[in-house]
Chain A
Amino acid sequence: MGLVEFIEGPAFWFALAVFVAGALWRFVGIIRIGHKPDLAPPKGSAGWGWIRGNLRHFFPRGLFAERTWMHVLGGYAFHLGLFAVMFFAAPHVDFIRERLIGVGWPALPRWGFIIAAEIAFAGLIVLWVRRFSDPVMRLISDWDDHVGSWLTFLVMLTGCLALERAHVSLRALHMGLVELWLIYFPFSRLMHAFTFMLSRGATGASYGRKGMTL
C-alpha cells in the first residue's frame, strides 16, 4: 500500500473513528457531570427556554452591534462559508456518497464553490487577524486557538488546491490535513461546534424557568 492509498484508506478511517469516539466521549462526559434538580417553583418552561436559548444566540443583538460588528461579520462569513464548502463542494458530495453513506445531494456549481470559499477565507482571516491585533483577543487567546485556526486554514487552502482533482498528491495532502483536523477536533476548542448547544441550552433553560425571553 502506497502513501496515498494509506492516507485515503486506513488513515482516514482511523481519524474518523478518533473524531467520532472523542467527540462523543467529551460531549457525553460534560452531560454526565450532571446537575441537581431545581426546586424553585418555575414561572416558565425550562425545555422551551433551552430551545429558545439555542436559537436566540444565532442572532446578535443590535445594541452591541456597533462594538462587535467586525467579529460578527467575520464569524458569520467563516462559518457559513465553511458549512457550504464542507457539505456542498462537488468532491465532498461525491466522497460522502461513495465512501460514507451511499446517498448524495446536489452540489454547488464551481462558481458557487469559489464564492463560498472566498467568503470563508475572508471570515477566517478577519477572525485570525483580530486574534493577534486586538488587545483583548491577545490576552485571552492560547495556543489551541491558533492551532485550530491554522489547521482549518490549511485544510481549506489545500482543499481549494485539490479542487480540480487533477493531482493525486494534492488530494492526498488535503486528505492528510483533514485527518489531522479530525483527530485534533475532539481535544480542542473546535468542539464548540457541538458544545454550543449545551452552553446556550443551560442558560436558556435557566432564563426559561424564570419566565424570561432572552
Chain B
Amino acid sequence: MSETADTVIRTMLDQTDGDIAAYLEACVHCGECAEACHFYLATQDPKYTPTYKLMPLVKAYKRHKAPLRSVKGMLGLLPAEVSEEELREWESLVYDSCTMCGRCTLVCPMGLDIAGTIRKMREGYSAAGIVPDGLRTARENVVKTGSPMGVTAKALKAQIARQEKETGLEIPLDKQGAEYLALFSSMEVMGYPEVIGAYARIFARAGIDWTISTEAYEATNIGVQIGDGPLARKLVARIVDAARKLGVRHVISPECGHAYGAIRWAGPNMLGETFPFEVIHIIELLDRLRAEGRLEIGEKDARRITLHDPCQIVRRGGLLKEPRRLLDDACADFVEMKGSGVTNLCCGGGGGVSANPRAEELKTQAFSCKKAQLDAIDGLKAVVVPCANCRGVFEDGLDALGGDYEVIGLSELVADTLKD
C-alpha cells in the first residue's frame, strides 16, 4: 500500500466511530438514496448514488475495523485493500458530487447519515493532500488572511464604513463587554455587504448591544468543508478566543449554512469544551426578537415570495419554523415551494462544491432541479435564500439557466420591512 493510501485509510478509520460503523454496516444497497440526490436526479448517472460514494471507506472498514473481520479473513471473504488509484478515482465523487446536504438520509430506510460519513472520508483525503484545487486555494487564503476569499480586516472595515454611511448608524467594532458578537461569511462581506447594514438597522431598532471583532469576523470554516480537522479546530478556536476576550454572552452565526453547523454543533466537540457563551443563528435571534415584540413590521413585501431552506440550517441545523414565522410577518404573499422544509432540495453548491471550479458544470446541472421548483410557482417574483453560499449559487444558476427571480437574504428582507 502506498504512503498516500495508508494515510487516507488510517485517517478515515480513525474518524469511524460507532455511529459511522452502524451506517456502514446497515446499508442494504437498496439504491433509494439515488432518488434523493440532486446530482443523480439531474444527470441520471448511477455513479452519483450517495452510498456508492462511500465505497472506499466501506471496503477499508470491512477489512480493518469491522467486527468478525478475522473470521471472514480466514474464509477469504474480506474485500481487497483499497488502492491509491481507487481513492483518487473516488476523489471527485467525494468532493464534487456531494454537498453533504443529507437529503439521502430521509429516503434511506436505514436512516444512514451519508453526508456525515462523507465528511469523515474528506478527513482522510485532506490528511493525504488529495483535495480539489479550488478548495486548496481557499485553504491557502485562510492560512494567509483568515478568510477563504482573502477578506482582510482592512477590507472588512472598508465595507463597514460604507454601510455606516448608507444606514447612518454606527457599527461597533471590537466593543468590550458587548452582549452579542456578530460573525459574517466572506461571501456576505464582499458580495452582500448590505447584510451588515441590515444587522445595524435591526439591532438599533431592537436595542441589541452588539459588536464585530476585527480578529474573528469570518464564520466560514473551510476546514469543515475540506475535511481538515486541525484547520477547522483552529478557525473555531479563533472565534472562541475573540468572544472570550470581548466578554460577549452570545455569538451570532450568520446566514451561512455550514458555518452554523461548524460553530454551533461541531465546534464544542472540536475544542473539547462547552462554550461559555451561547451560539445563536441570526434567524433564531430574529425570531426571538419577533416573539418578544422587538421587531415591529411596517408595510409587508407585497411580491410573491418563496423560501429556499438551506440544508445545514434547516434539515441538519434544526431551524425549520423560525424563518417561516419571520416570513409570515414580512411577506404578504409567501408561498412554499414543493418539497420545502426538511426534504428541501439542495442548491447544488454546498459542502465546498461552489468553491471547486472543477465541479462548476455539475453544480449548474444540479441547480436545474432547484430551478424547476421555482418555475413551478405561478407568479413568483423573489426567493429568500438565508445562506450566502446558496445565494451565490442561486445567482450563478439563474444566470446560467435563465430565470427572472430576485434572490434576497432574510435579514435584509426583515430590515427592509421594519416599521419606519
Indicate if B46 sits at the interface (CB-CB under 8 A): yes
B104-112, B191-199, B356-364 - the one binding chain A:
B104-112
State in angstroms the CA–CA spacing of A176 and B147 once bound together: 65
User: Do A30 and B25 touch (CB < 8 A)?
Assistant: yes
Indicate if A165 sits at the interface (CB-CB under 8 A): no
A30-B18, A57-B109, A61-B106 are contacts. A39–B30 as well, Cβ < 8 Å?
A: no
A191 CB to nearest B CB, Å: 7
B220 CB to nearest A CB, Å: 19
Query: What residues of A have a CB within 8 angstroms of the CB of B22 in the complex?
Result: 30, 195, 198-199, 201-202
B344 CB to nearest A CB, Å: 10
B29 CB to nearest A CB, Å: 5
Contact of B26 among A39, A64, A192 (CB under 8 A): A192
User: Do B32 and A64 touch (CB < 8 A)?
Assistant: yes
User: Do B109 and A136 touch (CB < 8 A)?
Assistant: no
Closest to A190 in B: B28
Contact of A29 among B40, B67, B107 (CB under 8 A): B67
Query: What residues of A have a CB within 8 angstroms of the CB of B23 in the complex?
Result: 199, 202
The size bracket of the interface on B is 35 or more
State in angstroms the CA–CA spacing of A203 and B20 once bound together: 10
Indicate if A186 sits at the interface (CB-CB under 8 A): yes
User: Do B109 and A38 touch (CB < 8 A)?
Assistant: no
State in angstroms the CA–CA spacing of A129 and B52 once bound together: 20
Interface centre among A40, A137, A201, A207 (most CB of B within 10 A): A40
B12 CB to nearest A CB, Å: 14
Query: What residues of A have a CB within 8 angstroms of the CB of B49 in the complex?
Result: 136, 139-140
User: Do B21 and A53 touch (CB < 8 A)?
Assistant: no
Closest to B106 in A: A61
B278 CB to nearest A CB, Å: 8
State in angstroms the CA–CA spacing of A212 and B316 once bound together: 8
Indicate if B113 sits at the interface (CB-CB under 8 A): yes
Indicate if B51 sits at the interface (CB-CB under 8 A): yes
Closest to B109 in A: A57
Chain A contact residues: helix, strand, loop or mixed: helix
Q: How many residues of A contact B (CB 8 A)?
A: 61
Closest to B105 in A: A203
Query: What residues of B have a CB within 8 angstroms of the CB of A67 in the complex?
Result: 35
State in angstroms the CA–CA spacing of A61 and B28 once bound together: 18
User: Do A203 and B71 touch (CB < 8 A)?
Assistant: no
Query: What residues of B have a CB within 8 angstroms of the CB of A35 in the complex?
Result: 17-19
User: Do B31 and A136 touch (CB < 8 A)?
Assistant: yes
User: Do A29 and B68 touch (CB < 8 A)?
Assistant: yes
B262 CB to nearest A CB, Å: 11
A68 CB to nearest B CB, Å: 5
Indicate if A10 sits at the interface (CB-CB under 8 A): no
Indicate if B318 sits at the interface (CB-CB under 8 A): yes
Closest to A143 in B: B77
A33-B17, A139-B46, A196-B110 are contacts. A187–B77 as well, Cβ < 8 Å?
A: yes
Query: What residues of B have a CB within 8 angstroms of the CB of A206 in the complex?
Result: 19, 113, 116
B222-230, B265-273, B401-409 - the one binding chain A:
B265-273
Indicate if B320 sits at the interface (CB-CB under 8 A): yes
User: Do B269 and A39 touch (CB < 8 A)?
Assistant: yes
Indicate if A26 sits at the interface (CB-CB under 8 A): yes
Question: Interface 1/0s, chain B 59-100, versus A by CB < 8 A?
Answer: 000000111100110010100000000000000000000000
Question: Interface 1/0s, chain A 69-103, versus B by CB < 8 A?
Answer: 00100010000000000000000000000000000
User: Do B29 and A33 touch (CB < 8 A)?
Assistant: no
User: Do B46 and A135 touch (CB < 8 A)?
Assistant: yes
Closest to A211 in B: B318
User: Do B46 and A186 touch (CB < 8 A)?
Assistant: no
User: Do A199 and B18 touch (CB < 8 A)?
Assistant: no
Contact of B29 among A30, A36, A39, A141 (CB under 8 A): A141
State in angstroms the CA–CA spacing of A64 and B316 once bound together: 19
Query: What residues of A have a CB within 8 angstroms of the CB of B21 in the complex?
Result: 30, 33
State in angstroms the CA–CA spacing of A195 and B343 once bound together: 25
Query: What residues of A have a CB within 8 angstroms of the CB of B273 in the complex?
Result: 39
Query: What residues of B have a CB within 8 angstroms of the CB of A33 in the complex?
Result: 16-18, 21, 65
Indicate if B2 sits at the interface (CB-CB under 8 A): no
State in angstroms the CA–CA spacing of A57 and B28 once bound together: 14
State in angstroms the CA–CA spacing of A138 and B31 once bound together: 9
User: Do B111 and A187 touch (CB < 8 A)?
Assistant: no
Tell me the residues in window 24-50 of chain B with beta carbons closer than 8 Å to chain A beta carbons. Answer: 25-32, 34-36, 40, 46-47, 49
A residues bordering B, Cβ < 8 Å? 22, 25-26, 28-36, 38-41, 43-44, 53-54, 56-57, 60-61, 63-64, 67-68, 71, 75, 131, 134-142, 145, 186-187, 189, 191-192, 195-196, 198-204, 206-207, 210-212, 214
A–B pairs, 23, beta carbons within 8 Å: A29-B66, A33-B16, A40-B264, A56-B111, A57-B110, A61-B343, A64-B106, A68-B107, A135-B46, A136-B34, A139-B46, A139-B49, A140-B49, A145-B29, A186-B68, A191-B25, A195-B26, A196-B109, A199-B22, A199-B112, A200-B110, A200-B111, A212-B320
List 17 additional A-B contacts (Cβ < 8 Å) besides A57-B108, A136-B46, A198-B25. A22-B68, A26-B67, A34-B18, A40-B267, A40-B268, A41-B268, A44-B318, A56-B111, A57-B110, A68-B32, A137-B31, A192-B27, A199-B110, A206-B19, A206-B116, A207-B318, A212-B315
